[in-house]
């Protein structure tokens, strides 16, 4: 199937109001251009250098989402244009984004990444630490961040009970944190190609789908 056909197949499975972020990391410009021609505007990347190169080469109305772990020394590269940083996982990163957003004269939308998976290798805030940071009022000191919600990745397992547990933990965290922010706090980003239908059933408002749209990742030279 073509990228267009696969994109349309995924769209048909999504309820109204659920945003689709097409995860284009490692895929060539031609694949993104095909999805763009089919009306897709939100794309997700995980490497700042690759994200910057694609931003430079592709239409400027694309809404780029940084979805991978972001090192503080790479924030400056993407701060001038990134639409959303979904992977804010520490006070240091949040404070770095604030400095770079202020330098660019921008307010950057962000999601707070929470670690819920069983794998220690996955990144994200420990929920209790995040809750304490939010309740301390720290985000009031970061006016160039617009906190839009939370993001997380479920455990990589075929056990649906475990995956559902992770998604429900994220939904609970989203609902608990929401009163601390304004009406812009409206995004619960969870669910990828293997598990997004369950994520939607658990309340996801934004899914990150790559392989079902673009096929297997291209790990060849960039």
pLDDT for 84: 98
**Residues 133, 125: Cα–Cα separation, whole Å:** 10
Average pLDDT of the chain is: 95
Indicate the pLDDT class of residue 112, thresholds 50, 70 and 90: very high
Helix (H, G, I), strand (E, B) or coil at 49: helix
Neighbouring C-beta atoms of residue 106, cutoff 10 Å: 15
Query: Is it the case that residue 44 has pLDDT exceeding 60?
Result: yes
Percent of the chain past pLDDT 90, that is, above it, reads 94
Half-sphere exposure of residue 176, counting CA atoms within 13 Å on the CB side?
Answer: 14
163: exposed, middle or buried (C-beta count within 10 Å: 0-12, 13-18, 19+)? buried
pLDDT for 195: 97
Q: Are 87 and 111 in contact (CB under 8 A)?
A: yes
Query: Is it the case that residue 222 has pLDDT exceeding 70?
Result: no
User: Could you give the angle at which helices 127-135 and 160-177 cross, rounded to 10 degrees?
Assistant: 10
Helix (H, G, I), strand (E, B) or coil at 21: strand
Q: Mean per-residue pLDDT for 108-114? A: 98
As beta bridge partners, residue 110 has 85, 147
Residues 6+ positions from 79 with CB-CB distance below 8 Å:
97, 100, 101, 103, 104, 106, 108
As beta bridge partners, residue 112 has 88, 150
217 or 92, which is more confident: 92
The per-residue pLDDT for range 14-39, each reduced to its tens digit, is 999 999 999 999 999 999 999 999 99
pLDDT for 90: 97
**Residues 72, 69: Cα–Cα separation, whole Å:** 10
Indicate the pLDDT class of residue 123, thresholds 50, 70 and 90: confident
Domain coordinates of the chain in residue numbers?
A: 3-213
pLDDT for 167: 98
Q: Are 167 and 174 in contact (CB under 8 A)?
A: no
pLDDT for 122: 83
Q: Are 187 and 111 in contact (CB under 8 A)?
A: yes
The per-residue pLDDT for range 58-89, each reduced to its tens digit, is 999 999 999 999 999 999 999 999 999 999 99
Query: Is it the case that residue 218 has pLDDT exceeding 60?
Result: no
pLDDT for 119: 83
Query: What pTM was computed for the model?
Result: 0.95
Indicate the pLDDT class of residue 219, thresholds 50, 70 and 90: very low
Q: Which of 152, 112, 151 is nearest to 134 (CA)?
A: 112
Given the candidates 3.50.50.60, 3.10.450.50, 3.20.20.10, 3.40.50.720, the CATH classification of the domain at 3-213 is: 3.20.20.10
Helix (H, G, I), strand (E, B) or coil at 206: strand
The per-residue pLDDT for range 140-161, each reduced to its tens digit, is 999 999 999 999 999 999 999 9
């Amino acid at each position: 199937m073509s990228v267009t056909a696969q994109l349309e197949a995924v769209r048909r499975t999504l309820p109204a109001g659920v945003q689709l972020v097409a995860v284009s990391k490692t895929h060539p410009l031609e694949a993104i251009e095909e999805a763009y021609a089919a009306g897709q505007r939100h794309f997700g990347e995980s490497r700042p250098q690759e994200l910057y190169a694609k931003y430079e080469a592709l239409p400027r109305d694309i809404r780029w989402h940084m979805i991978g772990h972001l090192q503080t020394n790479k924030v400056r590269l993407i701060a001038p244009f990134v639409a959303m940083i979904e992977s804010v996982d520490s006070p240091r990163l949040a404070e770095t984004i604030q400095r770079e957003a202020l330098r660019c004269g921008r307010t950057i939308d962000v999601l707070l990444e929470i670690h819920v998976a069983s794998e220690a290798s996955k990144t994200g805030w420990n929920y209790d630490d995040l809750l304490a940071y939010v309740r301390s009022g720290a985000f009031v000191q970061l006016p160039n961040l617009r906190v839009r919600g939370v993001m997380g990745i479920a455990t990589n397992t075929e056990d649906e009970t475990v995956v559902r547990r992770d998604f429900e933990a994220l939904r609970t965290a989203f609902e608990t944190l929401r009163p601390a922010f304004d009406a812009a706090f409206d995004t619960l980003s969870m669910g990828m190609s293997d598990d997004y239908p369950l994520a939607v059933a658990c309340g996801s408002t934004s899914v990150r789908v790559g392989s079902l749209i673009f096929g297997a990742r291209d790990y060849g030279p960039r």
